[in-house]
Structures are given as structure tokens and as C-alpha cells.
Structure 1
């Protein structure tokens, strides 16, 4: 099994997980100083977001709004709160939005994501089904239902959804990556690797995410991947987004290899940039929660 032979993960204190230390899996190579690790300044609320929130709050005080307008405003405020990591406030706004207009596939989709993050998979399936009933072409609901099925351990159904999602746009690297992760559980590493290789070869390779696929395919090293991220990111926001993605998918790779120490550290790093509305940030916390549960509930002998 490959070691994490260059990423200096000592920054996370030997990968402390919640209330305890992870002890399973391979140990992490600590030969390099932690400050060598690629990092971005965590994203902060912008003036524009604060102004938008204040403006929506003001408009909602009016008594001449139609129910449809009020539903839209609660939805928009929920999206802003979600992008700021204020998930409970966002969920409250999304539910308020549905109370004024229940025929909103976008709202059911984001609520399904929240249910997935909370491990409430049956509720997530229902939310995504509702979204797709209202709009059968809803690409995000299609993908997110596949991800929920993946986390719910229903790998065959997950592959079905994610394969359809991939076929809708074969040049989208992230569709190929999530399909690969589901196939990894369903079919094993060899077949999943073959599938990812075939999809990479027939893509136009323009999507930045294909660099992640190349790392999975061992076409480039982890060091080369992160060097490319640092060299091509145009500003701190883009750097934070790309590192969020890179650390998440690398964590998934090490977790699949049984290196839980490295996976935990990398999931924490995926969250460190505050890119709250990326699925990679959303599901890093879910991954950490699942690892914590597994460690506190070891299989009986």
C-alpha cells in the first residue's frame, strides 16, 4: 500500500478525530514540516453577501408580497446562509419557502443534501425523488440522489443513478469521479479503475477536474497535482475551492486503501477553506462522522 510520502500532515496533530486519536491504518510520514502544505486563506463573508441578507430581510417585512415572491426570497436567503455555513438558518428558510410554494425542485434538492449530510438517507431519497418528479431533468438532484445512495450503502442503485448522470455529460470530470467511487464499492478497484481510465480517455480533458482523475489513475503524483493547483489558481477563492476538492478526493483514496489516519487529516483539510457550498466540504464532515462512529463501534469478535 502506498504511503503518503510527501504531504506533511503533522499540522493536524497526528490526525486527532473528534474526541480521540485514530489508530487504525498506516502511519503518516512526518518527514516534512507542516508549513509546506498547500493552504488557502479560509473564505469569509463578503460585503455583497451581507448587503443581500439585509436587503432580503427588509423586503420580507413588506405585507404586499405574493406567496410566490415570499417563497423565492426565503429560498434566496437560505442559499446565502448555506454559503456562509449557517446550515440551521438555511434549512429553516428552505422549509419556509416550501410552505409558501411546495412545487420547488431546487428546494427539495438542497434539503435532500442536508438529509444526506445528517445520515437520514430515506428522507434524502424522498426529497430527491420529489425534486425529480417536479423536474425530471434536474441534474443536481440526479447526482445527489446517486451520492445519497452511495452513502446509504445501496451501491448498485448508486451506480445506476451516477452512470445516467455521467452519460448526460461525459466531459464533466466530477460525474466520472463519483461514478468511480460508487463502482469502487460495487465492483472492486480493478474494474473501477478500468472504467475511470476509459472515461478519461474519451473525454475532451478540458474540465479542470480531470486533473483529479489523473491523480486517481496514477498519471501524476500527488505532489505534482498540488503544485499544479498552486500554480494555476488565479486567486485565493479559486485556490480554496480547488484544495477543498483535492483534499477530499485524496482522502477518499487513502480511506479506500485503509489509511484512516491520512484520510481523517485530509478530510479536515478539505473543510479548512470554508467552501461551505461545495459537495466536497459537505461530505467531509459526513465522512468524519462515519469514521468516528466506526471507531467507537468496533465489530464484535
Structure 2
């Protein structure tokens, strides 16, 4: 873990505020690929190729191996296993949800909607499918539909800062003033003992970025815990600056989130998508100026 002062690129794109360095940040030591996960994958490989299995058993093992592939960043292999599992067991809600997240990352939103709808048809109480469908609708340019899912997800646990943040991210697409009012109201239900509450305070302009970093390192007991928190914090700081049009700063934050190698977190998964969106915006702006 290093402390660094990060000034971004030498020249700023149009739309970025030239406010100087991003401040003192923490650079993650990238999460190493778990030896335990690699051994587990090897065991699943052996069982799937050698053991006589019923279709339902094979589907479950394929899904579990897919989850392991996801955790070590092997997205293509994970997606293949989820597809194979669903061919054997079409009513596996977890596999529909997991492959739906991959469809979001590929910007294949129609397939993503169908996957999360299938998850919820099979298991209406699958909370994270509600979140993921809302995120898919948001990235698919349907914030007016996404808001219902994000509101439903938030109401299932009003003390969770991440639910508050996603609700705000979508709401502001429709009405920034109303979204900020709701964010301040939702903040009252959050605990000051939860480090992620400081991200909500940052969105409310009550603290600065350095305070968010200071809070996330408080009571950290392992490198993995630190990486998990950095992955989350840098994603939401990136979203904040992206929505303000600070593209260079946002891009740096998303890259920092990716540098943690916390592959299974939605913040890591969508940092790559956010970077792709920033590149597309830049292409559009460059074309408009020609």
C-alpha cells in the first residue's frame, strides 16, 4: 500500500475542471489469485469429467465452478459454465442472475433484462436480481424504469449505504434536486460506524475525498479487506466525477478500482463498463467538434 499524489493526465479533456491533483490516494496491492480457488477449480474439473452425475448435480457443479471462475477474473469460462448449467437446469435462479451480470458488462441489455426477469419469476425474493435488473435498466438508458427496482431494493434494508448510493445514482438521472433531497433523508438511517456512510456524505458535499479514504482504512485488519473497500470507494468516487463531466478524474478512479483485482464485486465489474462509456462519450464529443 502506497500513498501517492495523482494528477491524472497531462492535459484535460474538454468538460473536466482543472482543479489540480486528485489528492492523497491509496494504491492497492492487487489481490492475488487465490490458491484455494485454483485448487477448488481443479477438483470441480476432475469431478465433472470423471464422476457419474445426475443432470441436476452436474448443473450445480457447473454453476459453482462458474462462480469460482468469476472470482479469479476468468469471465468467459464463467459465462460458459452458467450457460451449460442453465441448459441442464433451466429453473436455476442463481445461474440466470449470474449470467445476467455478464450480459450487462457486454452491454447486451435485452438479454440481461430477460435473465433477471427469469431469476425473479423463479424466485421473487431474490433481492440482488432486483438490484441487478435496476442496474441493467440504468445502463440501458431506462432510468425511469430502473427507479422502481432500485427503490424496492433500498426499502429491503434502509441501513445499507450501497443501496442508498445506487438509488441516488439512478434517481439523479431523472431529477437531481429531488435525488439529493432523498439522499439527505436516507442518510439519517445510516450508521456513522459504517465506513461506506462517508461515501454518502461525500455525495452530499459534507466531506471531501480524503475523508472517504481515511474512513475506509479505519479498523482495516487485512490487505484483502483494504482491497475490497478500495474497489468500492474508487468506483463510487469515479461515478461522482463521471456524472459531473470530470472524465479524466473519473477514468483514473475506475482504473484504480480495477487495479484491486476484486473481480467478484459489482463495483469492479462495472468500472470496466464505465470506462467504455467514457471512451464512447469522448468519441461522440470528438465527432461533434470535427
2:42 corresponds in structure 1 to: 54
Contact kept, 8 Å, 1:8 with 1:29, in 2: the verdict is no
Give, in whole Å, the separation in 2 of the partners of 1:7 and 1:216.
Answer: 23
Moved more, 218-227 or 21-30: 21-30
Which of residues 268, 277, 283 is equivalent to 1:281?
A: 268
| 1:3-58 Cα shifts (integer Å, max 9, x gaps) | xxx98323x5548xxxxx845422351396xxx53022101112211110111111
Where do 4+ consecutive residues of structure 1 move more than 6 Å?
A: none
| 1:95-131 Cα shifts (integer Å, max 9, x gaps) | 1111111111111111111111111111111110000
Give, in whole Å, the separation in 2 of the partners of 1:203 and 1:245.
Answer: 17
Shift in CA distance, 264/7, structure 1 to aligned 2, threshold 3 Å: farther
Deviation at 1:256, TM superposition (A): 1.4
How many residue pairs get aligned? The number is 286
Give, in whole Å, the separation in 2 of the partners of 1:102 and 1:31.
Answer: 48
Shift in CA distance, 158/206, structure 1 to aligned 2, threshold 3 Å: farther
Give, in whole Å, the separation in 2 of the partners of 1:205 and 1:67.
Answer: 48
Give, in whole Å, the separation in 2 of the partners of 1:63 and 1:7.
Answer: 52
TM-score by length of 1: 0.89
Moved more, 179-188 or 58-67: 58-67
Q: Which segments of 5 or more consecutive residues in structure 2 lack a partner in the other structure?
A: none
Give, in whole Å, the separation in 2 of the partners of 1:209 and 1:122.
Answer: 32
Structure 1 residue 270 and structure 2 residue 257: aligned?
A: yes
2:103 corresponds in structure 1 to: 115
Structure 1 residue 29 and structure 2 residue 29: aligned?
A: no
Deviation at 1:247, TM superposition (A): 0.7
Give, in whole Å, the separation in 1 of the partners of 2:26 and 2:13.
Answer: 23
2:6 corresponds in structure 1 to: 9
2:221 corresponds in structure 1 to: 234
Deviation at 1:143, TM superposition (A): 0.3
Which of residues 12, 15, 32 is equivalent to 1:44?
A: 32
* Equivalences for residues 156-175 of structure 1 within 5 A: 156-175=144-163
Which of residues 85, 93, 108 is equivalent to 2:81?
A: 93
Moved more, 226-235 or 239-248: 226-235
CA RMSD of aligned residues (A): 2.0
2:281 corresponds in structure 1 to: 294
Deviation at 1:220, TM superposition (A): 2.1
Structure 1 residue 250 and structure 2 residue 237: aligned?
A: yes
Contact kept, 8 Å, 2:4 with 2:27, in 1: the verdict is no
Deviation at 1:65, TM superposition (A): 0.7
Give, in whole Å, the separation in 2 of the partners of 1:53 and 1:31.
Answer: 40
Q: Which segments of 5 or more consecutive residues in structure 1 lack a partner in the other structure?
A: 1-5, 16-20
Structure 1 residue 219 and structure 2 residue 206: aligned?
A: yes
1:259 corresponds in structure 2 to: 246
TM-score by length of 2: 0.92
Shift in CA distance, 212/141, structure 1 to aligned 2, threshold 3 Å: same
2:53 corresponds in structure 1 to: 65
Deviation at 1:80, TM superposition (A): 0.6
Give, in whole Å, the separation in 1 of the partners of 2:38 and 2:249.
Answer: 37
Give, in whole Å, the separation in 2 of the partners of 1:30 and 1:255.
Answer: 16
Give, in whole Å, the separation in 1 of the partners of 2:231 and 2:88.
Answer: 35
Deviation at 1:219, TM superposition (A): 2.4
Give, in whole Å, the separation in 2 of the partners of 1:59 and 1:263.
Answer: 44
